[in-house]
Amino acid sequence: MPSYDSLKLADPDIYAALTGEMQRQADGVELIPSENYVSPAVLEIMGSVFNNKYAEGYPGKRYYGGQEFTDAVESLAIERAKRLFNATHANVQPHAGAPANIATYFALCEPGDTIMGMDLSHGGHLTHGHPVTYLAKIFNFVRYKMKDITTGEIDYDEMRAVAKREKPKILMAGYSAYPRELDYAKMRAIADEVGAIAIMDMAHVAGLIAGGAHKNPFDFGFDICLTTTHKTLRGPRGGMILTREAELGKKIDKMVFPGFQGGPIMQMVAAKAVAFGEALKPEFKDYAHQIVKNARHMAVEFLKNGALLITGGTDNHMLLIDTVTSWGIGGKEAEVLFDRIGITLNKNMIADDPRSPMDPSGIRLGTPAITTRGMKEPEMEQLVSFMLRAIEQRSDDAAIKALHEEVKTFCQQYPVPGIERMENG
């Protein structure tokens, strides 16, 4: 772990916040499904001198000189990404997942064109056309939903009917709060029938796909895969665009730069390369499969204890629980309660939720970060026990404080990568 001596001297306030966050991560359980811990190697390269270098353009075609080593790391990131996902073309420059999505829309569509994506309340993502986003003022978004929230089955018949009526330019797969796998073959067939480009936003499950724990959309003829590089992929915070055909990739490259964003953040591109190299190792496959095993085991434990899980379980890394029906409390109250015992997750809307996004009917939780710490099925049972005890004892402050101490002791067995135990925090 770096010493941070320079930071401590230069800015004690930021140093205090940093050490506080390190302590929080070491002493708590991270169940937010979009969060993970990077390796010490990824953490190191993110704080490197690559931060000092502008690299507008692409390898071999930069606008500034002095690019020998930036070209090397970006080329490695591109080649490793293509190997991981069996892609023909990769753009590793997007600063985050949303810019990757937006640049792709701009590359393929004109204002007013129709894009079809999953409804947010049924598990979709803001950038797939929610009315609160500026994108909804530019493109015409239409949505599809689950047919049955008890199983999570998508209403593919309705999807086909809407697609035939609306003729979308893009048919978007992918989600932020959906615990099942999608039927890529059905979606590709619908896209073919209406002449749409098939895109998978695999941000949440990219690591599961890379590790062979989930199907690869490219194997079903999808044209493009968009992703973040953190979450299950366990890399730095950033975005990436992969295509099945080189010409489509070149078109998107021009929109990423110079069309949409400026120079790449080179320390993050280098960190992506390191993370992709880690994901190519055999042990990453074990990790990806364990994420799914842990999530399924946790789901079984909740179901045995009477919790209502949206879709009835999980096929991936996340669970969505109706807390109102399960425990008589809203998602916001549940999030705050679990924070009090050192377990972090997020409030989340459920399908057609009658409550507001800031106080919804559910919570979302997942297993990528705890799997990185080495937890397996027995630990899933312990975590569910902690959470259910918190629900039962939520009116007893002393019991909640005692439970928090139990969680801290539990966490000492599972170090966070890149963070040494801080005994005097």
Q: What amino acid positions are annotated as catalytic residues?
A: 54, 56, 201, 228, 231, 237
Which of these, 84, 61, 86, 103, lies nearest to 274 by C-alpha position? 84
Q: Quick count: other Cβ atoms within 10 Å of Cβ 63?
A: 12
Which amino acid makes up residue 234?
R
Distance CA 342, CA 358 (A): 21
> If residue 162 lies in a helix (H) or strand (E), which one and from where to where?
helix 156-166
Q: Which residue stretches of 305-327 are H helix?
A: 323-327
Q: What is the separation of C-alpha 230 from the centre of its chain, rounded to a whole number of angstroms?
A: 6
Q: Quick count: other Cβ atoms within 10 Å of Cβ 83?
A: 15
Which amino acid makes up residue 367?
T
Radius of gyration (Cα) for the chain, nearest Å? Answer: 22
User: 86 with 216: CB under 8 angstroms?
Assistant: yes
CA geometry: angle at 316 spanning 404 and 403, to 5°?
10
Q: Which residue stretches of 358-396 are H helix?
A: 368-372, 377-392
Token pair in block for residue 24: 């929080």
Q: What is the separation of C-alpha 67 from the centre of its chain, rounded to a whole number of angstroms?
A: 31
User: 371 with 361: CB under 8 angstroms?
Assistant: no
As to burial, measured by CB atoms within 10 angstroms (0-12 exposed, 13-18 middle, 19+ buried), residue 17 is exposed
Which of these, 109, 298, 91, 118, lies nearest to 200 by C-alpha position? 118
Distance CA 77, CA 220 (A): 24
Which of these, 318, 277, 241, 242, lies nearest to 36 by C-alpha position? 318
